[in-house]
Amino acid sequence: MAKKFACSDVVSGCSWSTIAKDESDLFHKISEHAKHVHKMDTIPDEILTKVKSKIQEV
């Protein structure tokens, strides 16, 4: 089952979202977005926990 993440669930005002075939691919897309848009070279654990809690199956 595919996985979906909407950045606005964690960062208010960010309209980016993505769908991937699995969690591994999803986290790759999320980390690239965080790096390029939010200037985060690494995602802090507290943010990662929030991200994981907002992932949905589609």
Q: Kindly tell me the burial class for residue 34, based on how many C-beta atoms sit within 10 Å of its own C-beta (0-12, 13-18, 19 or more).
A: buried
Cα–Cα distance measured from residue 15 to residue 17, given in angstroms and rounded to the nearest whole number = 7
Beta partners for 20?
3
pLDDT for 3-57, tens place per residue? 999 999 999 999 999 999 999 999 999 999 999 999 999 999 999 999 999 999 9
All structural domains of the chain with their residue ranges: 3-57
Global pTM reads 0.92
SS3 39: coil
